[in-house]
Amino acid sequence: MRVSVVGTGYVGLVTGTCFSEMGNTVWCVDVNEEKINALNKGIIPIYEPGLSEMVLRNRESGRLNFTTDIAEALETSEIAFIAVGTPMGEDGSADLQYVLSVAKSIGKHMKRHMYVVDKSTVPVGTSEKVRSAIQEELDKRESDLTFDVISNPEFLKEGSAIADCMKPDRVVIGVDSPCAEAAMRELYKPYFMNNDKLFFMDIPSAEMTKYAANSMLATKISFMNEISNICERVGADVNKVRLGIGSDKRIGFSFIYPGCGYGGSCFPKDVQALIKTAENFGYKSKLLQSVEDVNHAQKGVLVKKVKERFGDDLSGRVFATWGLAFKPDTDDMRESPAITIINSLTDAGAKIKAYDPKAVNEAKECYLKGNDQVDYVDSKYEALKDADALILITEWKEFRSPDFYEIARLLKNSVIFDGRNQYDANRVAEYGIEYHQIGVRLDP
Ligand code: NAD
C-alpha cells in the first residue's frame, strides 16, 4: 500500500520504517528540516536498537522516503498516519495543536479519498476535531473528496520499538465504516499471518484504550513505589515482597519494580490528560490523581536519602550519577527522574559527574542545559573518580554487573544509592560498600 506517516519522531519513524519493511511504499513527513535532511543522508536522529539498519535497508530499496513537503507525500498515498506529539498542555490536558495542524495540511493537499489514521495519543473526541479540520480545508477548496478518520493508538515501547512494531501483542483500531476496517485489515494482515490480533472497535473506545493501558501501567509502578515506602518504614524488604507477589499469576512480575519514579514522553502526560478528560466530563479520578502524586514524590526519594546521609547542604560534595535517559535502551530524557534528581542535588550545592551510554547529548543540549554544575564523562568508572557516592538512576544493562572492587577503590566514600535496586546487598557489603536501596531500610 502507499502510506504517508506525518511526524517522524520515535513513533512515526519506527512505524513508517516497519510499514516499508513489510513491502509498503512509505513517505515519512516532518516539519523539522534538519531531521529530514539527516535522514536523507542516512543519519538516524534518535537511538533505537535495530532502527538504523532497517531505515537504511528500506531507504536503499526506494520503499522508504523522507520529505518536509506533505503535498509530495500525499501525491500518491492512500493512507495518511498522524504521528506527531501531543504534549501536556498548561492545564494538564493533551495539546492537540500539532495533530490539528497536520489534519488541516491533509485537507489542503489530499488528492484522492484518504484514510486518515490517528496514531498520536489523543483524548476521546479528537477524531471529530480531526474530521472537522480536514472538512474545513476541503470546503475552502470547494472539493468533494471524501475521507475516513480512523483511530489506531500506538503501543510500542522505546528501547524495543522495532520488535513491538513487527510483532505487536495487539493492534487496536477504531473505525466507523466497513471500508476503513478493510483498509486497516489489509495494511496489518502481514503482521499476523497465523494469529490475528487485530481488535476493531468504535473510535472513542480505541482512543480511550491507549489512556487506559498507560494509566494501568503507571498505577502498577506507583503502587509498588507506595509499597516500597511502607516496606522501608516497617522494616520489610521490597525486593522480597516483589518476588512474593509477582509469583501470583494474577499479579505477575511486570511493572512491579520499585524505583525512583516513572518518566518518559507518555506515562506522565497521559495520566494527567486522562485526569483532565475525566474532569471535563464532571468526574474526579481520585485513583489517577494519587498515581500522579505518588510518582511526583517518588522522584524525591533518592535525594532525601542522599541528604540524610550527607546533610542538607551538599556544597563541596561530588556525586557520580549512572543513567540520564528515562529508561534503558533509549536516548529519550523526556520527564526522566534524572532531571529532578540531578537538579535537586545541584540546587543543594553538589557537583555531578554524569554518565549515560546514549543520552548525554540530550542532557547537554536540552534537559540539563544551563546546569553548569554537571560534568559529563565517557565511562561509568570515570564518573566515580573522587566522587562522594554513586547514584544509580537508569538501569542500563552495563550497570548490572559492575566491578565493585573498582567502585570501592575509585569513590571517595564507598556509598551507593541505587534507584533501581540492581544489586545483591550481601555481595555489595563484601566490598565494604554502604548500599542504599529503594524500599529497604539500611541496618544501622
Ligand atoms: P516525537 O516528539 O518524537 O515526534 C513528533 C514529531 O512530529 C517531531 O519530529 C516533530 O517535528 C513532528 N511534527 C510536529 N508537527 C508537525 C507537523 N505539523 N507536520 C509534520 N511533522 C510534525 O513524538 P513521539 O514520541 O513519536 O510521539 C508521537 C505520539 O505518539 C504522541 O502522541 C505520543 O504520546 C504517542 N506515543 C509515543 C510513544 C513513545 O514511546 N514515544 C509510544 C506510543 C505512543
> Residues 273, 189: one domain?
no
User: Which residues in 231-358 belong to E strands, given as ranges?
Assistant: 318-322, 351-355
Crossing angle between the packed helical segments 267-280 and 286-298, to the nearest 10 degrees? 150
Q: How far, in Å, CA of 289 to CA of 307, rounded?
A: 28
Distance CA 380, CA 344 (A): 21
Q: Is residue 251 domain-shared with residue 169, that is, in the same domain?
A: no
Is 443 inside a domain boundary?
no
* 40 inside domain: yes
Look up residue 412 and give its DSSP letter.
S
Which protein residue has the closest C-alpha to ligand 1 atom 29?
120
pLDDT by residue for the chain (444 residues), tens digit each?
Answer: 999 999 999 999 999 999 999 999 999 999 999 999 999 999 999 999 999 999 999 999 999 999 999 999 999 999 999 999 999 999 999 999 999 999 999 999 999 999 999 999 999 999 999 999 999 999 999 999 999 999 999 999 999 999 999 999 999 999 999 999 999 999 999 998 877 899 999 999 999 999 999 999 999 999 999 999 999 999 999 999 999 999 999 999 999 999 999 999 999 999 999 999 999 999 999 999 999 999 999 999 999 999 999 999 999 999 999 999 999 999 999 999 999 999 999 999 999 999 999 999 999 999 999 999 999 999 999 999 999 999 999 999 999 999 999 999 999 999 999 999 999 999 999 999 999 999 998 775
Distance CA 315, CA 130 (A): 53
Which runs of consecutive H residues, i.e. helices, occur in 386-441? 404-410, 425-430
Q: Which residues line ligand 1 (CB under 6 A)?
A: 6-12, 29-32, 35, 83-86, 98, 101-102, 120-121, 154, 156, 158, 265-266
Q: Does a structural domain hold residue 216?
A: yes
Whether 206 maps to a domain, the answer reads: no
- Give residue 411's domain range: 299-437
Structure pTM? 0.95
Residue 326 domain-assigned?
yes
- Provide the CATH number for the domain around residue 235: 1.10.1040.10
For the beta carbon of residue 401, count every other beta carbon within 10 angstroms. 9
- DSSP code, position 121: -
The cell for 289 is 490523581
Query: Reduced to 3 states, what is the DSSP secondary structure of residue 295?
Result: helix
Number of domains observed in the structure of the chain:
3
- Pinpoint the alpha helices (H) of 50-125: 51-61, 70-74, 97-109
Give the atom of ligand 1 at the shortest distance from the alpha carbon of 265.
41
Positive or negative CA dihedral for 258, 261, 267, 270?
positive
Helix, coil or strand: residue 306: helix
Q: 3-class DSSP state for residue 344?
A: helix
Cell 534518535 locates to 46
Question: 241 and 275: one domain?
Answer: yes
Number of helices (H) and strands (E) in the chain: give both, helices first.
18, 14
Annotated binding site: 30, 35, 86, 121, 155-158, 210, 255-259, 263, 269, 327, 334
Write out pLDDT tens, residues 319-357.
999 999 999 999 999 999 999 999 999 999 999 999 999
Domain identity same for 134 and 185 = yes
**Co-location of 46 and 169 in the same domain:** yes
Q: Is there a contact between 356 and 367 (Cβ–Cβ < 8 Å)?
A: no
Q: pLDDT, tens digit, for every residue of 84-140?
A: 999 999 999 999 999 999 999 999 999 999 999 999 999 999 999 999 999 999 999
Task: Catalytic residue, from 28, 165, 231, 266: name it.
Answer: 266
Query: Does the ipTM surpass 0.95?
Result: yes
Q: How far apart are CA 101 and CA 178, in angstroms?
A: 27
Residues 41 and 164 in one domain: yes
Domain boundary, last residue among 241, 264, 296: 296
- β-pairing, 2-6 with 25-29? parallel
d(CA 424, CA 189): 46
Give me the CATH number covering residue 84.
3.40.50.720
The rounded Å distance from CA 45 to ligand 1 centre is: 13
Domain end, chosen from 268, 296, 324, is at 296
State which of 5, 11, 18 you would mutate to test the pocket of ligand 1, scoring each by most atoms of that ligand within 8 A of its C-beta.
11
